[in-house]
Amino acid sequence: MKQLFINPDSRTIRAGWRILIFMLIFAVIMVSLTLGARAMPGGLKGGGTLSYTLLAISATLAAYISRKYIDKASLSSLGLRPDRAAALDIISGLINSALVMSGIYFTMLFTGLIEFKGFSWWTDSTDINVRFSLAVAPIVLTVLWKFVLVAWHEELTFRGMILQNIIAGLGPLWAVVISTVLFGLAHVGNPDATVLTTLMIIVITLQLVYAYFKTGQLWLSMGLHLGWNFFQASIFGFSSSGQASPTMITQNPAGPVWLSGGSFGAEGSILVIPFTIGSLLLIHWWVRATRPKDRKGFFDFLV
């Protein structure tokens, strides 16, 4: 009976139970913080910046408690070592996603899969001087902060606690399969989600997993995640997994949903497949360029 909970080889709690304990701690902290926020004047607005902040705080506290008292390890050992390489990995991830999302946007635009409607600063004024509304800037910054919080707590949870515990229990191949499927299923409840959108999110998630395996850190994954959401939603005007945000470019899907992504956004289009492959190649190049001692092949992390 004891072996059901304890790995006899390492004499530690089995990986599945560690993940379950983390999720329970996460849920308890999140519920507690949410109830506290709702008791405050003004309450808690669903989907607002405060709710995302509480998610990030809850994930961080749950990971810290789980690592210290269950895994007997530090939070930084998940892949959160703060150094110069961390900053460069985040920047690389942002640039990678900017290039990929630019490619997706212009491919869809020039093939008629989306229709350009205008920029957020365009006005109906007949004045010949085009005026830029400074009101756009704080809105975009607020959305950027929301995406920072999303990238932090989702990478900490899925590529941190879940992926790494499954690696310890079942090995890297099963860890990739299970963690990416779980991440796809986590978006099933989003607006306009379908079987295709879930499959495409699983495909997109491979770049985040690959970034972790190649660097041993979560920073590149976080940069990729942040850049993907921000450029997709706040710059190029796609919905982010079915959720619309204030954006610099206004556009509408015009082609078949399986190509344009429809109301779900670019992540619902099969066009993300070749661009995800491009992202994987950029990640591979970045690691080889910045970590000269890394000479592993493209798929060596699976063995």
Q: Mean pLDDT over all residues of the chain? A: 87
pTM: 0.89
Q: What is the pLDDT of residues 258-281, one digit of tens each?
A: 999 999 999 999 999 999 999 999
Q: How would you label 63-94 residue by residue, b for 16+ Cβ within 10 Å and e otherwise?
A: bebbbeebbeeebeebbbeeeebbeebbebbb
Do 143 and 219 sit in the same domain of this protein?
Answer: yes
Q: Are strands 249-253 and 6-7 parallel, antiparallel or unpaired?
A: unpaired
Give backbone dihedrals phi and psi of 286, rounded to 5 degrees, phi first: -60, -45
The reported pLDDT for the residue numbered 300 is 62
Give backbone dihedrals phi and psi of 125, rounded to 5 degrees, phi first: -65, 145
Do 192 and 251 sit in the same domain of this protein?
Answer: yes
Whether the per-residue pLDDT at 135 is higher than 90: the answer is: no
Q: What is the pLDDT of residues 212-270, one digit of tens each?
A: 999 999 999 999 999 999 999 989 999 888 888 888 888 999 989 999 999 999 999 99
Q: Which domain-ending residue is among 73, 103, 132?
A: 73
Do 63 and 194 sit in the same domain of this protein?
Answer: no
Mean pLDDT in residue range 154-181: 95
Pairwise CA distance, residues 237 & 116, whole Å? 9
More confident residue, 206 or 39: 206
Do 68 and 106 sit in the same domain of this protein?
Answer: no
Reduced to 3 states (helix: H, G, I; strand: E, B; else coil), residue 291 is coil
Domain interval for residue 6 = 1-73
Only one residue has tokens 């989600």, namely 193
Contacts of 218 (CB under 8 A, 6+ apart): 78, 79, 80, 155, 156, 159, 160, 212
Do 209 and 62 sit in the same domain of this protein?
Answer: no
Q: Which domain-ending residue is among 73, 107, 135?
A: 73
Contacts of 56 (CB under 8 A, 6+ apart): 149, 152, 153
The reported pLDDT for the residue numbered 9 is 60
Pairwise CA distance, residues 209 & 274, whole Å? 17
The reported pLDDT for the residue numbered 183 is 95
Do 237 and 90 sit in the same domain of this protein?
Answer: yes
Do 130 and 271 sit in the same domain of this protein?
Answer: yes
Domain total of the chain: 2
Do 51 and 173 sit in the same domain of this protein?
Answer: no
User: What helix, strand, coil percent values describe the chain, rounded to 5?
Assistant: 65, 5, 30
Going 14 to 19 to 22 to 23, the CA torsion angle's sign is: negative
The residue type at 224: L
Q: What is the pLDDT of residues 49-97, one digit of tens each?
A: 888 999 999 999 999 999 999 888 899 999 999 998 999 999 999 999 9
Do 34 and 138 sit in the same domain of this protein?
Answer: no
The reported pLDDT for the residue numbered 242 is 84
The reported pLDDT for the residue numbered 120 is 73
Do 262 and 223 sit in the same domain of this protein?
Answer: yes
Asked if 151 and 237 count as a contact pair (C-beta separation under 8 A), the reply is: no
Pairwise CA distance, residues 34 & 190, whole Å? 21
Give 6's strand partners.
13
Q: With CA atoms as reference, report the closest residue to 224 among 137, 99, 131.
A: 99
User: What is the pLDDT confidence band of residue 19, given thresholds at 50, 70 and 90?
Assistant: very high
Whether the per-residue pLDDT at 128 is higher than 50: the answer is: no
